[in-house]
Amino acid sequence: MRFYSRIEIVELLEVEPGFLDALEREEIILSDASSGAAGGFSERMLERVRVAYNLVHDLDVNLAGVAIIIQMREDMSSLRHQIEGLLNELKGSSTDR
């Protein structure tokens, strides 16, 4: 798994360092201390920054709203994967007959 430094995220997504600070304060993003001395951010956190930036700057959503929306997106994605798994199991059991 790839990890990104704060500097890489700022450069890749063209966000202000203060925006990352605010996301960390609100616990919308979390660094992974196991990724290095300074801690890095996973691809999942990189995606959270991208989504948060779009919500704040394009839709004028506050950080509390961002946290809720991101959690809901991740919950929906998890449910989608679970449903796909169940559908695959059902397809497999129907062909076994």
Q: What is the pLDDT of residue 55?
A: 98
Tell me the pTM.
0.83
* Apex 44 CA angle, 86 and 7, nearest 5: 170
| Residue-wise pLDDT tens digits, 36-95 | 556 699 999 999 999 999 999 999 999 999 999 999 999 999 999 999 999 999 998 877
Which domains does the chain carry? 3-95 (1.10.1660.10)
For residues 66, 67, 72, 74, the Cα torsion angle rounded to the nearest 10 degrees is: 110
Q: What is the pLDDT of residue 66?
A: 98
Tokens of 24: 């960390």
Asked if residue 29 has pLDDT above 60, the reply is: yes
